[in-house]
Amino acid sequence: MRIAVLGTGVVGRTLAARLDGLGHEVVIGTRDPAATSARTEPGGVGTPPFPQWHAEHPQVRLMSFAEVAAFAGLVVNATSGAAAMAALVAAGEAALAGKVLIDVSNPLDFSRGMPPTLDPVNTDSLGEQIQRAFPATRVVKALNTMNCHVMVDPGRVPGEHNVFLCGNDDTAKQAAAELIGSFGWPAGSVIDLGDISAARGTEMMMPLWLRLMGAFGHADFNVHIQHG
Ligand SMILES: NC(=O)c1ccc[n+]([C@@H]2O[C@H](COP(=O)([O-])OP(=O)(O)OC[C@H]3O[C@@H](n4cnc5c(N)ncnc54)[C@H](OP(=O)(O)O)[C@@H]3O)[C@@H](O)[C@H]2O)c1
């Protein structure tokens, strides 16, 4: 499948590399491909500069947000929460129309320092904002409740654990669940929370996730839902 990953940070890179390894034709989107290709500064959270990662994954083509969205049949949004809307506007409403958009972003607001707050929160979510702004796009919020290395390799966390998804389009959720399954998630581990407004809940897991990371000192953990 032709898949576009919007975002050159650690999440975009991790998803793009995994999808490429699974045999998909993967492109990775950025604001300015020439500028991103010329970067010498490290990425966030101690990742190497983008060109270093790209040299190890030359088959993943780097293009503008608009170019990758036009190229792909399925799109993954892995951009910064504060910038997701701008990135998707750059991708283009027409290019995104009719496509499944798996949104893994979280609306973390670092403008007042650490810990980040959420914006939007409570009565709205970034997943809903994206769906409202792009009504012809089939938005599925998924995978945003765990570290990106766990997203693509659930075996990093021992035992059973879960991944949530939500969205308004059942066939889009089915497509997302299949892709998630191809990462190694057992079928029963995927929990469909219903329509896109459930993104409020999964995005609001972020403050707890950040505390858990502080408590454990690493990010290889996830939640397991037990129910009767
Ligand atoms: N870290 C994790 O394991 C994890 C887990 C779950 C969810 N998430 C979420 O995944 C998303 C990606 O996280 P990340 O750490 O990989 O990357 P990030 O640093 O949050 O975002 C990087 C991407 O955002 C784009 N961007 C930044 N400012 C922009 C602007 N003004 N307009 C358009 N695009 C802009 C960048 O574009 P350029 O390529 O042009 O620089 C880049 O592609 C975030 O929403 C995060 O909350 C992260």
Dump pLDDT digits (tens) for 15-37. 999 999 999 999 999 999 999 99
- Looking at the CA of residue 11, tell me the nearest atom of ligand 1: 16
pLDDT digits (tens, 9 = 90+) for 93-141: 999 999 999 999 999 999 999 999 999 999 999 999 999 999 999 999 9
Judge if the beta carbon of residue 10 lies within 6 A of ligand 1.
Answer: yes
pLDDT computed for residue 67 by the predictor: 98
Percentage of the chain modeled with pLDDT above 70: 100
Q: What angle do CA 213, 217, 219 make, to 5 degrees?
A: 50
Q: How many residues does the chain have?
A: 228
Residue 211 burial (C-beta neighbours within 10 Å; 0-12, 13-18, 19+): exposed
Looking at the predicted structure, is the pLDDT value of residue 63 above 90?
A: yes
Judge if the beta carbon of residue 11 lies within 6 A of ligand 1.
Answer: yes
- The Å distance, Cα 77 to ligand 1 centre, comes to 9
Judge if the beta carbon of residue 104 lies within 6 A of ligand 1.
Answer: yes
**H or E element that contains 177:** helix 170-182
pLDDT computed for residue 10 by the predictor: 97
Task: Name the residue of 27, 79, 105, 150 to mutate for ligand 1: max ligand atoms within 8 A of Cβ.
Answer: 79
- The Å distance, Cα 226 to ligand 1 centre, comes to 32
Is the distance from CB of 165 to CB of 191 less than 8 angstroms?
yes
pLDDT computed for residue 210 by the predictor: 98
pLDDT digits (tens, 9 = 90+) for 174-196: 999 999 999 999 989 999 999 99
pLDDT computed for residue 46 by the predictor: 84
Confidence band of 45 (pLDDT split at 50, 70, 90): confident
Looking at the predicted structure, is the pLDDT value of residue 44 above 90?
A: no
Average pLDDT, the chain: 98
- The Å distance, Cα 228 to ligand 1 centre, comes to 37
* Neighbouring-strand partners of residue 47: none
Alpha-carbon dihedral 26, 29, 35, 36, rounded to 10 degrees: -60
Contacts of 145 by beta carbon, 8 Å cutoff, 6+ apart: 163, 164, 202, 205, 209, 222, 223
Judge if the beta carbon of residue 101 lies within 6 A of ligand 1.
Answer: no
Strands 74-77 and 2-6: parallel
